[in-house]
Amino acid sequence: MMLSRRSLGTGLALLAASVCLGKAGGARAEVKTQEIDYKQGDTALQGFLAYDDAAKGKRPGVLIIHEWWGHNQHARDQASRLAKAGYVAFALDMYGKGKLATHPKDATAFMEAVMKDQQVVSARFDAAMEVLKKQPQVNAAKLGAFGYCFGGAVALIRARAGDDLRAVVTFHGNLAAGAGSAQKGKVKARILVQTGEADPFVPKEQVEAFKKEMKDAGAKVEVVGHPGAKHSFTNPDAGKAGMDALAYNAEADKKSWDAALKFIKSAFAR
C-alpha cells in the first residue's frame, strides 16, 4: 500500500509522539514492594512494605493491620494503595508467619489467641512499628495506622493507650472498648472511623457508645457510616466466606478510601 507524503509525515509524527509518551511513562513513579521478616519475642512474623521510589525526601509512615483472616492479599493491596498516594505503608502480621485463615472458625481461633493477651497485641504492634520507623523513606515523627475488621480494634486499642500516632483510620472495625476505655486527655491520634450501617458485628449501639467514650475522653474523632454496607465492605473477597454478614461494597470502599486519604493528609499536615 502506497502512502502519500502527507500521510507518511502524519504517521511519523504520531510515532514520535508515542515514543515520547512511552519515555515519559517510563519515568513515572513506581511502587516498590518488599516482604520483610521480623520477630516479636520468639514468634516469626512477615510483613509487606510498599513505597513510591520516585518520591523525594522522607514521608509519613502508616501501618496496615489486617482483618481476622490474617496477613493476606487484601492487607497488601491496601499498603500498595497507600504507597501510590505518597505514603510508606507496612502491612504487619499479628498472628505469625504463615498463619492465614480461609474459614471463619480458624480466623476466630487466630484472633482470640492474640486478643486474650493484651501484652502480645501491644508487642506485635510495636514490633511492626519499629520496622516501619527504620525505613529510610519514613518520617518517624509522622506515623499512623489503618485497621480493618480485627485490625481496626487493634488500632483503636493503641490509640486508647496513647500511642504517639498522628492518625488512626478504621474500616469496619470493632469499636468496643474491650481492653479498657480511653482516659480523658490520653488519646493523641486523630481518629476516623468508617463503619457499615448494615454491619451486624458493629451495631448502632456500639457506634453510639464509642462516640460517647471518645467525647468523654476529649479525643478528636470522626465517625462515618456507609448506608447499606455490611461487614468487610472494603474486601472484594468478603463474599467467599459464605457469611451473610460479610459483603464487599464497591461504593463504600471507594468513598471510605477517599475519605481516609483526605483525613490523613490533614492529620499529617500538622
Contacts of residue 260, defined as CB under 8 A and 6 or more positions apart, other chains included, come to 146, 169, 171, 192, 194
Burial class (CB in 10 A: 0-12, 13-18, 19+), 182: buried
For residue 48, pLDDT over 50 is answered with yes
Find residue 62's DSSP bridge partners: 89, 144
Residue type at 91?
A
Write down the pLDDT at residue 179. Answer: 78
pLDDT at residue 68 in the model? 97
Does residue 198 register a pLDDT over 50? yes
> Bigger pLDDT: 147 or 56?
147
**Which segment of 41-50, 143-152, 179-188, 250-259 scores lowest on mean pLDDT?**
179-188
Please say if the pLDDT value at position 25 is more than 50: no
Residue 178 has what pLDDT?
82
Average pLDDT, the chain: 90
Is the pLDDT confidence value at 12 over 70?
Answer: no
At residue 85, φ and ψ (nearest 5 deg) are -85, 0
The answer to whether the CB of 194 falls within 8 A of the CB of 260 is yes
Residue 270 pLDDT class (50, 70, 90 cuts): confident
Mean pLDDT of 242-255: 97
Backbone torsion region of residue 228, taken as left when φ is above 0, otherwise alpha when ψ lies between -120 and 50, otherwise beta = left
Q: Are 47 and 36 spatial neighbours (Cβ–Cβ below 8 Å)?
A: yes
pLDDT of residue 16: 37
- Write the pLDDT tens digit of every residue in 103-135: 999 999 999 999 999 999 999 999 999 999 999
Amino acid at 120: V
